[in-house]
Amino acid sequence: MNLKEKHKKLIKKEAYRLGFDYVGVSKAEFLEEDAPRLEKYLKNNLHGKMSYMENHFDKRLDPRLLVDDAKTVISFLINYFPEKKQNKNSPKIAKYAYGQDYHLVIRQKLNELLEFINVEIGEVSGRGFVDSAPILDKAWAKKSGLGWVGKNGNLIHKKSGSFFFIAELILDLELPSDGPVTDHCGTCTACIDECPTEAIIEPMVVDGSKCISYFTIELKEAIPKSAQGKFDNWMFGCDICQDVCPWNRHSKPHNEPLFNPHPDLLSMTQKDWDEINQETFSKLFSKSAVKRTKLSGLKRNISFLKNIK
């Protein structure tokens, strides 16, 4: 085993110790295959009013513009599939938002890993990313062999499904790459067939402006009447295209205590949500990604659900 292989093995071992479930490595280079896809996506306005996606086009496609002299992109998956789920009769939030804000939890792990690399390997310049900078995380995870991009646009791992957060560490340290894996969606169209807003307009192309997650999180104005009756009781995000995916039959509960929900969240009833106030909202979501929509946004979504029943 040469030195670069030893470094990769050492980094992966520490990443697993820190709680990451899967780790893959790829060469930091321009994402040539993804450039025309991203350009077409933006040109067709499939990002709706998420104007931030129009920014930093070049940086999204080339990690060397994010980290000087970048040589390697390490991609990480960390499971968030919950052991217990919400009351079936209450408005629903996406499973990724059950626990503490994943940005903060994962960023801490990446910082610790980067510190470990500097101590054990030597001075390495790098930067961690957790869904918060112009980087195509699914493209890099795919490139590093952590799965394939399914017809619902999510990364799917053959052994564990798609209920994962994706993160990256871009380093100026050269490491051997892990090769990509093959696509295993086959002829299945469950995600396309079951999406109530018909947001998956073709395999691997999701019209963000039609997605329930977009309406309930990203859209800051009134939800259009054209979406009435199509939300299946989702008030924050949506998991339908993942819930119906056959590969998620393999999903197992995560091992990260910080992703566990506040105990009261699982027992909240329709009446509780109808009467939610700032005190309850803060108690449930003070450290959660749900706080992004604020109480006013959540109440808007709950009201929208009530009006369409």
Distance CA 159, CA 178 (A): 17
Distance CA 137, CA 168 (A): 7
The active-site residue out of 58, 69, 131, 137 is 131
Q: Is 178 a catalytic residue?
A: no
172: nearest Cα among 6, 16, 28: 28
User: How many degrees, rounded to 5, is the angle at CA 119 between CA 17 and CA 77?
Assistant: 35
Let me know: does 209 contact 45? Beta carbons within 8 Å. yes
109-to-40, 227, 308 alpha-carbon distances in Å: 35, 39, 42
Distance CA 148, CA 182 (A): 7
Residues belonging to the active site: 131
